[in-house]
Chains A and B, each alone.
Chain A
Amino acid sequence: MKQIQIDRRRWLQMATSGALALGSAGGTDKSIPVHPNQLKFGQLDFNPPEPSEYRHELPHGAVAYLVEDHQLPLVRLGVTVRTGGYLNSDEDLGLASMTGTLIRSGGTKSMSASKFDEEAAFLATEIHSHIGATSAYAGIDCLKQNLEPSLVMFFDMLRNPAFNSERLALAQRHQLQNMQRRNDRTSVIENREFQRLLRGDSHFSSKLATEKSITSITAHKMSRFHAQYYHPSSLVFAVSGDFDTKEILVRLKNSLREGWSANRPDVSTVPKPKHQPTPCLAMVNKTGVNQSRVSIGHLGIQRNNPDHIAVMVMNSILGGGGFTSRITGRVRSDEGLAYSARSSFRAGVYYPGVFRASFQSKNGSCAQATAIVLEEIERICNEKVSQKELDTAKNYLVEIFPRFFATASIVAGTFADDEYTRREKDYWKQYRNRVAALTADDLLKAAQQHLHPSEIVILAVGNVNEILRGNPDRPQYKFENFAKNTDIRHIPLPDPLTMEYPKG
């Protein structure tokens, strides 16, 4: 039986010695230091849990991470399945996602869809199924007393989904209605078009289902997709909560041993995008909004890049570290130009991620805020960060480290995800040391190597005329100047059902 509170005991001893000092300090106002920098804290030791202690191998190559926690009479069991929307052909865009939905809503071969729903609801068991772009998930969340009946339903769903045709028709209608609204929200338009600018139109990550591809989905196609990928060898389980490891192992082994195909699925790897983005100033016109959304960025790095942690710390100083970061400080608190202004530098698992700074500001002040963001990107490439900034960024990441393992559910989920994405083995063990070792020189190097001001793509979604008109009180900022020597690229709104863009 393994609990995740092993390291807690060590800390409690520290806390006790801290209490002695505290007792002698008395309780008057005079004992309050004038600045919190003068507060003294006890040491806090924390060692991350060891994945191997929770890892179990199951029949046919399935793997499980089992993390007990008996504080509440609840069990959460989830499984990641090696599949994803990236496997869909162009004609079948949306098939994977629909299959994920219907695995849950379409009943099983032995239980009708409505009976399945009723049983789950009466047990108060939440049952989920979802297929995303590069992985699928299915899981239950139930009261301990209902674990067995919930598991029976779960494995029935996972193995024998029925893809009821009425439920399919309903899901299709629902999705078509949602697709119709693809041009309503500026945030939706912004994400879609920024993705297209950076990934091009031929990579799966920027392709969207159409009316045609959705209506062509059949129960047969879904059933084939499911049969192709849902197999024990593709499964990584994460189980947490009030259960007994030995008992659940027996239970999982029994469910996986028989009734599955002998053939292991051959899952092709996630394709890398080939598109090389062109630096540009792009705009999408959306009248009727008094605030526009702006994204500024370029392609980034992959997770296995040795500079990954340096880049993360650099970005937290640039715009990823909340109020203590530069972009937020200048755009939001100095100038009051935005409620949210930030940057992210996502390291991709399968291919390079994206660096993106973004904000939302009233149409007229987008030019000024953009200028500030560009200045800050330049500055972090040219000057070393201050010691204070470096300390804050590093201390934060080191100090919050225990939070990455805060609950049994997080521990099991993290380990399962690491297994699925094949994260380097000693990543968590080395994490704090790697952060702590970084210097201002390292960050400058990381910025110079991985930020590319000359490759920047800028996208604004909002009232184009007002953005270009700018703020009469700040005439020095002109949005069109960011186009440099090229023309502004005006992106029209596509037909939401065909995803065809009007020419011209």
Chain B
Amino acid sequence: MFERTRRLCFTFLLAVSVPFMADVGLGQRVTPSVHTLKNGMKFLFVPRKGDPNVSCGWIAKVGSVNERPGVTGVAHLFEHMMFKGTHAIGTSNIQQDLKIIQRLDVLRSEIRQQEESLLEKHRRGVINNPKDPTSRSEQHKKLLTEFNALLEQQRELIIKDEFSRLYRNAGGSGMNAGTSWDYTIYFVNVPANKIELWFWMESDRLANPVFREFYSERDVVYEERRMRVDSTPTGKLDEQFNAMFWQSSPYSWPVIGWPSDLEGITRKEALDFFSVHYAPNNLTAVLVGDFDPKHAKIFAERYFGRLKRGPRRPEPIRTREINQLAERRLAGYAETVPTVKVRYHTVADAHVDEPVLIVLAGILNGRTGRLYKSLVLDQEIATNAGAGVSGLKFDGYFSLIGVAAKGHKPREVEEALYAEIEGIKQTLVDARELQKVKNQQLAGDFRRLRSKSSLMMQLLVYDAMGSWQNINKFSDRIQAVTRSDIQRIAKKYFHPSNRTVAIYHSQLDRIDPSPTKQGVAR
């Protein structure tokens, strides 16, 4: 329940499991009642029988794609700050608390100046470690002492994690949030008799947020980065592969942010981010479960109606990815199975080509997919292989992955992956093969409706990416894909100059002096 950032999970959600209900004689569609407030905030209500519980969530149409260099990671850090309370929640004395917070900010910016002078010395090679306490000036030490003393003072006022406690006391479960490249999502399940609590809590943290414990939370996020990226076998390489794939696009930096930025983001920067991107006209909320939309509508007006429309519309993303001219490659060593990863630039979410790419991935994937049958079962050069579609809001890619079997090189697997792609370009896929993928998509459409919280999240994400109504269009689009569509799309996107390739050699194989491994930095 601590996993606040499920970036991978979310991108995967869009990638492989794009929903929904096909028409094929079943006629089930998601038909929420829609209510839009004067301030622009949209609500979707989906009453559904089942246990006496309601899955509630809202989404801000903002993610790391809206950041700029210097504050990478701020969208995610901000997500953490939304749990730190408000004027009414989390403190016993808000006036005193705000005074302390203000003073802490002043001290922190003075400490930052001290840190910057150490960074400068480090840049010039005068000191080895800018974090070594013995390099600090007297003034620096004094500031730190004062800062820590003030934190102790603030701690007296803080009502620890009151936000979480209020939900927990009321039986709120699964409270969490996640940040992706394109959106930030906040959700919880509440007992059916307590939806008003959700309206109170969520509107309060949008109306009156207080970002207390900002600097210790920044440390928490840095620990999150260490856990997910730095201290996993392939975390750092994966991050660099992504940064290499996108040249000009803001998708090139990691959602969790570059380390230097995580150490420097200020509370002021987080607040600026909030005022633009968390205005009600940039938000959508969804409730799914055992409740009456008539009541929910009254609550929505009462609680969220008090939010003020934003001063300006969030600026659209200006910087687009530059056209790729030549293949790019990365080779590295990691404590992992020998792996090859290939990415091709394709299209943004909801582009007309996307359903075709998804069906194509279906042809390649699974136990009976072409990749497994060819690379794993027939040729025995791989132990695993797969494909995926990632449609982001402003751009997208198609990826292939293969794991080399013992005695085989990732390079062989790479060639075999390309051979399968060539096969799709050369010959129309089999009709039964296509039907199999469509059948699976259809069953998947139903399976994804099983859980209320999953439906809630899908509606939110669809709306953040474009429109919730796409949820009802997708299945028809998938079912309409033809064999020649697949061939046409394969020819359109799968060119060597449009791809970026990563090869991870196993750390164990490192003694192998093959020339491809020369000059590889770790």
- A residues near B (Cβ < 8 Å) are 4-5, 7-8, 11, 14-15, 18-19, 22-23, 27-29, 31-37, 39, 41-44, 46, 71-74, 105, 114, 117-118, 121-125, 141-143, 170, 173-174, 176-178, 180-181, 183-186, 289-291, 321-324, 328-329, 332-340, 342, 360-362, 388, 391-392, 395-396, 398-400, 402-403, 405-407, 409, 462, 472-473
Contacts and interface: CB of A to CB of B under 8 A. Distances in A.
Contact of B230 (A32, A289, A322): A289
A174 B372 CA distance: 13
A160 B305 CA distance: 63
30 contacts: A8-B49, A8-B51, A18-B295, A27-B301, A27-B305, A36-B89, A36-B166, A36-B197, A39-B194, A43-B193, A46-B52, A72-B446, A121-B436, A124-B436, A170-B376, A170-B380, A173-B383, A173-B405, A183-B335, A186-B231, A333-B216, A335-B216, A336-B218, A339-B223, A360-B223, A395-B169, A399-B170, A400-B191, A406-B51, A462-B231
Given A122-B432, A406-B53, A472 B132 contact: yes
Interface in B202-256: 204, 213, 215-221, 223-224, 226-227, 230-233
Contacts of B28: 72
A391 B169 contact: yes
Interface stretch (B278-286, B389-397, B437-445, B488-496): B437-445
Contacts of A361: 223
Interface stretch (B66-74, B157-165, B322-330, B471-479): B157-165
A407 B171 contact: no
B49 A339 contact: no
B223 A337 contact: yes
Nearest to A183: B335
A324 B161 contact: yes
B170 A405 contact: no
A400 B442 CA distance: 33
A35 B132 contact: no
B179 to A, nearest CB: 14
A358 B117 CA distance: 37
Contacts of B26: 73
Contacts of A123: 439
Contacts of A15: 192-193, 291-292, 295
Nearest to A122: B436
B217 A333 contact: yes
Contact of B302 (A27, A173, A181): A27
A39 B230 contact: no
Nearest to A398: B171
B426 interface: no
A291 B231 contact: yes
Contacts of B52: 7-8, 11, 44, 46, 402
B406 A177 contact: yes
Which of B49, B201, B227, B376 is packed against the most chain A CB atoms within 10 Å?
B227
Contacts of A388: 165
- Measured as residues with beta carbon below 8 angstroms from the partner, the interface class of chain B is 35 or more
B173 interface: yes
Interface in B293-319: 294-295, 298, 301-303, 305-306
A323 B51 CA distance: 26
Interface in B345-378: 366-368, 373, 376-377
User: Closest 7 CB pairs between A and B?
Assistant: A399-B171, A336-B219, A336-B216, A124-B443, A291-B226, A323-B164, A184-B335
Contacts of A31: 302
Contact of A118 (B204, B216, B368): B368
A5 B50 contact: yes
A340 B227 contact: yes
B20 to A, nearest CB: 12
B441 to A, nearest CB: 8
B53 to A, nearest CB: 6
A75 to B, nearest CB: 11
B435 A44 contact: no
A118 B49 CA distance: 36
Contact of A121 (B175, B232, B233, B440): B440
B315 to A, nearest CB: 31
A291 B233 CA distance: 12
B290 interface: yes
Contacts, number: 247
Given A36-B197, A328-B2, A396-B169, 9 more contacts: A11-B193, A18-B295, A290-B226, A336-B218, A392-B165, A392-B168, A400-B173, A407-B450, A472-B133
Contact of A33 (B171, B200, B449): B200
B508 interface: yes
Contacts of B2: 322, 328, 339-340, 342
A362 B220 CA distance: 10
A177 B405 contact: yes
B180 interface: no
Given A44-B191, A73-B26, A177-B405, A32 B302 contact: yes
Contact of A39 (B196, B232, B451): B196
B131 to A, nearest CB: 9
Given A391-B169, A395-B170, A22 B298 contact: yes
B220 A332 contact: yes
Which of B155, B189, B298, B403 is packed against the most chain A CB atoms within 10 Å?
B298
A124 B193 contact: no
A121 B227 contact: no
Given A15-B192, A181-B336, A361-B223, A173 B442 contact: no
B88 interface: yes
Contacts of A339: 2, 220-221, 223-224, 227
B337 interface: yes
B83 interface: yes
B447 interface: yes
Which of B50, B219, B231, B439 is packed against the most chain A CB atoms within 10 Å?
B231
B1 interface: yes
A177 to B, nearest CB: 5
A31 B305 CA distance: 12
Contact of A324 (B88, B165, B218, B336): B165
B193 A74 contact: no
Contacts of B232: 185
Contacts of A4: 51
A352 B270 CA distance: 48
B144 to A, nearest CB: 8
A405 B50 CA distance: 10
Contacts of B450: 72, 74, 407, 409
